[in-house]
Structure 1
Amino acid sequence: MPSDLNAPGLKTRPNRDGSRRLYWCARPDLVKAGYRPETVRLSYNLDAPDDRALIEAACLRLQAEMLEWSTGRRRGADAFDGTILGLSRRYQIDEASPFRRLKHNTRTKDTYTLILIEKAFGTRSLAALKIGDFYRWYEAAKKPKVPGGMERVRRAYGIIKKLRELFAFGIMAELPECRRLYEVLEHARFAQPARRRIAMELGHVEAFVAKAIDLERLSLALGTAIQFETALRQKDVIGEWEPIPKKQGASGILLNGRRWANGLTWSDLAADLVVRKATTKTGAFAAHDLKLCPLVLALLDRVPADRRVGPLILDETAGRPYAESAYGREWRIVARAAGVPDHVWNMDARAGAITEAEDAGADLDHIRSAAAHTQVSTTQRYSRGAVGKSRAVAELRLAHRAAKNGA
Structure 2
Amino acid sequence: MPSEFNAPGLKRRKRKNGPAVLYWCARADLVKAGYRPETIRLSYTLDDPTHRDLISAACLKYQAEMLEWSSGRGRETSRFDGTILGLSRRYQTDEASPFRRLKHNTRTKDTYTLVIIEKAFGTRALAALKIGDFYRWYEAAKKPKVPGAPERVRRAYGIIKKMREMFAFGIMAELPECARLYAILEHARFAQPARRRITMELSHVEALVAKALELNRLSLAIGTAIQFETALRQKDVIGEWEPIPAGEAPSGIVLNGRRWTNGLLWSDLAADLVVRKATTKTGAFSAHDLKLCPVVLDLLDLVPIDSRVGPLIIDETAGRPYAESAYGREWRIVAKAAGVPDHVWNMDARAGAITEAEDAGADLDDIRSAATHSQVAITLRYSRGAVGKSRKVAELRQAHRTAKNMA
TM-score over 0.5 (shorter chain): yes
Distance 1:382 1:25, change over 3 A: farther
Q: Kindly, what percent of the aligned residue pairs are identical?
A: 80
Amino acid at match of 1:196: R
Tell me the equivalent position of 1:209: 209
Contact 1:231 1:351 in 2 (8 A): yes
- Alpha-carbon deviation of 1:63? 6.9
Q: How does 1:50-69 map to 2 (within 5 A)?
A: 66=66, 69=69
Note closer, same or farther for the CA distance 1:165–1:212 as it changes in structure 2 (3 Å cut): same
One-letter identity of the residue aligned with 2:97: S
- The equivalent residue for 1:186 is 186
2-structure distance, mates of 1:385, 1:75: 50
| Correspondence 1:26-105 to 2 at 5 A | 26=27, 35-36=33-34, 66=66, 69=69, 74=74, 76-105=76-105
Distance in 2 (CA, whole Å) between partners of 1:119 and 1:113 is: 10
Q: 1:40 to 1:209 in 2, by over 3 A?
A: farther
Kindly state the Cα deviation for residue 74 of structure 1 after the two structures are TM-superposed: 2.4
Equivalent position SS for 2:245: coil
Q: Report if the CA contact (8 A) 1:35-1:69 is conserved.
A: no
For the 8 Å contact 2:104–2:243, the answer to whether it is kept is yes
* Equivalent residue letter for 2:27: A
The residue matched to 2:236 in structure 1 has which SS?
helix
| Letter in structure 1 aligned against 2:288 | H
Counterpart mapping for 1:347-362 below 5 A? 347-362=347-362
Alignment of 1:124 with 2:128, yes or no, is no
TM-fit CA distance, 1:235: 0.3
Distance change >3 Å, CA 370–CA 25, structure 1 → 2 = farther
- State the distance in 2 between where 1:109 and 1:245 align: 19
- What SS does the corresponding residue of 1:197 show, helix, strand or coil? coil
* Counterpart residue number, 1:396: 396
Q: Which segment drifts farther, 238-247 or 349-358? A: 238-247
Q: CA deviation at 1:24?
A: 5.3
Task: Tell me how far apart the structure 2 counterparts of residues 222 and 319 of structure 1 sit (CA, whole Å).
Answer: 16
Q: How many residues align?
A: 378
**Cα distance in 2 for residues equivalent to 1:398 and 1:187:** 47
1:204 is displaced (CA, Å) by 0.4
Structure 1 residue 40 displacement after superposition: 7.0
Task: Tell me, in whole angstroms, the C-alpha distance in 2 between the residues paired with 1:316 and 1:38.
Answer: 38
1:371 corresponds to: 371
Other-structure match for 1:195: 195
Say which one has the larger Rg: 2
Change (3 A) 1:27 1:263: closer
Match of 2:275 in 1: 275
Query: Secondary structure in 2 aligned to 1:314?
Result: coil
Q: Which amino acid aligns with 1:8?
A: G
CA distance in 1, matches of 2:36, 2:130: 31
Query: Cα 1:37–1:383, aligned 2, differ >3 Å: closer, same or farther?
Result: farther
Instruction: Identify which range, 219-228 or 240-249, moves more after superposition.
Output: 240-249
What is the TM-score with the length of structure 2 in the denominator? 0.87
Contact 2:9 2:27 in 1 (8 A): no
Q: 1:399 to 1:63 in 2, by over 3 A?
A: farther
The amino acid that maps onto 2:184 is V
Contact 1:217/1:316, CA 8 A, preserved across alignment: yes
Q: Secondary structure at the match of 1:276?
A: strand
Unaligned stretches of 5+ in structure 1? 13-22, 42-55
* Conserved? CA contact 2:26–2:66, under 8 Å: no
Structure 2 gaps of 5+ residues are 14-23, 40-54
CA distance in 2, matches of 1:27, 1:327: 22
C-alpha separation between the residues in 1 aligned to 2:341 and 2:315?
A: 23
CA gap of 1:342–1:27, structure 2 versus 1, over 3 A, is closer
Q: Distance in 2 between matches of 1:84 and 1:241?
A: 31
| 8 Å Cα contact 1:212-1:221 kept in structure 2 | yes
Q: Is the 8 A contact 1:35 1:66 kept in 2?
A: no
Distance 1:368 1:133 in 2: 42
For the residue of structure 2 that corresponds to 1:205, the secondary structure is helix
Distance 1:11 1:249, change over 3 A: farther
The structure-2 alpha-carbon separation of the partners of 1:237 and 1:117, relative to structure 1 and needing over 3 Å to count, comes to same
1:301 corresponds to? 301
Secondary structure at the counterpart of residue 386 of structure 1: coil
Distance of aligned partners of 1:70 and 1:299 in 2 relative to their CA distance in 1, 3 Å threshold: closer
Distance 1:293 1:259 in 2: 30
Residues 142/337 of structure 1: CA separation in 2 closer, same or farther (3 Å cut): same
